[in-house]
Amino acid sequence: MKLKVTKSNYSLIIFLLILLTLFSIILFSTIGTADINIVEAFKIGLSKVPFIKSFISLEGIKNAHRVIILNLRIPRVLLGILVGAALSSVGAAFQGMFKNPMADPYVIGISSGAALGATIIIVTGLNLSLFGIKSISVGAFLGAMITAFMVYIIARVNNKIPVTTLLLSGIAIGQFFTAIMSFIMVIFSNDLTKIIYWTLGSFSAKSWDELIPVSIPIILSIIVINFFARDLNIMLTGEESAKSLGVNVEKTKILILIICSFTTAMAVSVSGIIGFVGLIIPHIVRLIVGPDHRILLPSSALVGGIFMIFADTIARTIISPTEIPVGIITALFGGPFFIYLLKKKKKSI
């Protein structure tokens, strides 16, 4: 399992993962309820890629299929990539910052906080858009920030964040906020399906309209998280060491907490609460590429994106034509994995 990873092949790993991501985008776009064969789907997909499109002929392909691929599947897959990458990057950063492999935006409640924030904006009808920034996103961000700081303060014991208090306060606050959110939704909408899709997360019926506003903020914030790679590495060696190595630990922690809350909020505001992605992906990636955040963070983002569209493909095809929330699929993978981690870490808890 453990590959020999040295700094010289970091670029190679990233390059291969990008190729794999592109391949996955096309592959998972082709799979779906509508019976579109793979060759057709590839052709439609590639017909929009610069340079390659001049070699592609779409003759004999039904217009409906073109619409399905271009207007439904591709934006949905791209959104899946973004959300998966966002949640995994945040998970990796949190696991480093808290020195705790159990941390992820879902487990520590930030996703729930963001979802609650977004819900309040939706039901109060303040759903506005200013300079391309949606008020839903702002609400989600505020909800995420408040949760992050609450959990951080509650979980802290003598300046440390022990696994137990982190998990307990995260789960408690997360569940509490989810309950408030569901309650608000029941009162205001009566639409239980909507609540389920929102609390379990879904990419159902997402189009370019949802994708475009969040794409720039998510991509930018993932890049910013990567700026902290070296600081995160050093912080893993202990706070005293980090300080003596010239890292301003408190400031860095708060910055990471803010940027991660923002990233999570952007993801949650379009997809609802998708759990466990941020937990499993960084963990698996760490097993393969090692703990250095300079490779861990970008690799987690790419693998997280791939995993998310894989899970989403299962979600929309497994009992086709009915879709299930993608959060159910990630939880089916993540739940057992979480238990495995707990069991493995039991000694240190």
Partner 1 sequence: MTKAVEIKDLNFGYGETLNLKDVSFSIKKGDFVSIIGPNGSGKSTLLKNIASILRPKDGLIKIDNKDIENYNSKDLAKKMALVPQNTNIAYDFSVFDVVLMGRSPYLSRFQRERDIDYKKTKEALRLTDTLHLSERNINYISGGERQRVIVARALAQDTDILLLDEPTSHLDINHQIEILSLLKKLNKEKDMTIILVLHDLNLASRFSDKIVLVNEGTILAKGIPEEVITYKNLEKVYNLDMVISTNVYTASPYIIPLESKRIYEKKRKKVHVISGGGSGVEVVSKLDKKGFKVSMGVINRGDSDWDIGKKLSLNMIEEMPFNGITEESFKENIKEINNSDIVILTSVPYGNGNIKNLEAAYEALKINKEVYLIDKYNEYEKFDFVKGNATKILKEMKKNGLRVYNDIDKLINDLN
The residue count for binding partner 1 (CB under 8 A) is 23
In whole angstroms, how close is the CB of 263 to partner 1 at the nearest point? 19
Binding mask 200-229 for partner 1 (x = CB under 8 A): ---------------------------x--
Asked if 8 is part of the footprint of partner 1 (rule: CB under 8 A), the reply reads no
Site for partner 1, residues 305 to 344, rule: CB under 8 A: none
Measure the CA–CA gap between 23 and 13, rounded to whole angstroms.
15
Nearer to partner 1, 26 or 97 (CB): 97
For partner 1, which is the closer residue by CB, 152 or 228?
228
**Would you count residue 135 as binding partner 1 (CB under 8 A)?**
no
What's the closest the beta carbon of residue 309 comes to partner 1, in angstroms? 28
| 247 near partner 1, judged by CB under 8 A | yes
User: Is 43 an interacting residue with respect to partner 1 (CB under 8 A)?
Assistant: no
Residues sharing a CB contact under 8 Å with residue 105, sequence separation 6 or more, in sequence order: 87, 90, 91, 94, 111, 144, 260, 264, 278
Token couple for 140: 């989600």
In the bound state with partner 1, the residue whose beta carbon lies nearer, of 26 and 90, is 90
Q: Which of residues 254-293 bind partner 1 (CB under 8 A)?
A: 286, 290-292
- The secondary element (H helix, E strand) that includes residue 134 is strand 133-134
- Give the residue, chosen from 34, 236, 254, 288, that forms a contact with partner 1 under the rule CB under 8 A: 236
Say if CB 242 and CB 251 are below 8 A apart: no
Shortest separation between residue 141's beta carbon and partner 1, angstroms? 24
Q: Which residue has the tokens 């950063």?
A: 93
Looking only at residues 289 through 308 of this chain, which bind partner 1 when binding is defined by CB under 8 A?
A: 290-292
Chosen residue from 244, 319, 344, 345 binding partner 1 by CB under 8 A: 244
- Select from 67, 124, 212, 238 the one that contacts partner 1 (CB under 8 A): 238
Using the minimum distance from each CB to partner 1, give the nearer residue, 207 or 244: 244
Taking CB under 8 A as the rule, does residue 233 contact partner 1? yes
Pure H helices in 207-325: 208-227, 229-235, 239-244, 249-271, 277-289, 293-317
Residue 303 C-beta-side C-alpha neighbours within 13 Å? 25
One-letter amino acid at 6 equals T
For tokens 């809350």, the residue is: 261
Closest distance of CB 5 from partner 1, Å: 10
The residue type at 86: A
Whether the Cβ atoms of residue 304 and residue 89 lie closer than 8 Å to each other: yes
Please report how close the Cβ of residue 7 comes to partner 1 at its closest, in angstroms: 8
- Interface pick for partner 1 out of 245, 254, 255, 342 (rule CB under 8 A): 245
> Which residue stretch of 29-37, 38-46, 54-62, 233-241 sits at the interface with partner 1 (rule: CB under 8 A)?
233-241
Coil, helix or strand for 88?
Answer: helix
CB of 107 to partner 1, least distance (A): 17
d(CA 222, CA 293): 13
User: Which DSSP letter does residue 108 get?
Assistant: T
Position 248 contacts partner 1 (CB under 8 A): yes
- With binding defined as CB under 8 A, does residue 240 bind partner 1? yes
User: Mind giving me the DSSP string for 184-237?
Assistant: HHHHHH--HHHHHHHHH---TT--HHHHHHHHHHHHHHHHHHHHTHHHHHHHTT
DSSP string, 109-130: THHHHHHHHHHHHHHTT---EE
Nearest approach, Cβ of 158 to partner 1 (angstroms)?
10
Q: Phi and psi dihedrals of 130, rounded to 5?
A: -130, 125
Closest CB to partner 1 among residues 92, 270: 92
Q: Rule CB under 8 A: which residues touch partner 1? A: 7, 96, 99-100, 227, 230, 233-234, 236-238, 240-241, 243-248, 286, 290-292
